[in-house]
């Protein structure tokens, strides 16, 4: 025959009804086809964050400049002139619901804030 294969014999115990499977040829063949438990354990996908519970590294605190501070610097206003500045008041009226503006100024100008909460 062209396709000759070695088919292992399957032994059958007639009295018990169990079939015995053929045994692998050698240990080398067995380790190649069936990885050991140790190999499976090292190949297991590790899930989750490995840094969970560890403190975050503390870096330098970088101060952020608010848009209010940028406008005040652009208008060249000292803090004692904030309330009297019409340009700052107009900017605050347009941006009171979307930008940070100190509450004391909003109260001094009589503005009400639309709450989104």
Among residues 13, 14, 32, 10, which one has the least CA distance to residue 22? Answer: 10
Q: Per-domain residue ranges for the chain?
A: 11-40, 67-109
Tokens of 85: 């500045």
How far is 117 from 115, CA to CA, in rounded Å?
6
pLDDT > 80? residue 66:
yes
Please report where in the chains the tokens 């989104």 appear, as a residue: 116
DSSP-derived 3-state class of residue 21:
coil
The 10s digit of each residue's pLDDT in 39-64 is 555 667 788 998 899 988 888 888 89
Q: What is the four-CA torsion angle of 63, 67, 71, 73, rounded to 10 degrees?
A: 0
| pTM of the predicted structure, to 2 decimals | 0.48
């Amino acid at each position: 025959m062209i396709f000759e294969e070695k088919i292992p014999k399957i032994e059958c115990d007639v009295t018990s009804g169990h079939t015995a499977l053929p045994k692998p040829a050698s240990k080398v063949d067995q380790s190649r086809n069936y990885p050991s438990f140790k190999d499976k354990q090292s190949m297991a996908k590790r899930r989750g964050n490995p840094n969970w519970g560890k403190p975050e590294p503390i870096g330098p605190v970088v101060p952020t400049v608010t848009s209010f501070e940028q406008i005040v610097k652009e208008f060249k206003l000292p803090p004692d002139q904030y309330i009297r500045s019409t340009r700052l008041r107009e900017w605050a009226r347009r941006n009171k619901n979307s930008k940070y503006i100190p509450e004391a100024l909003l109260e001094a100008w009589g503005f009400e804030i639309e709450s989104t909460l």
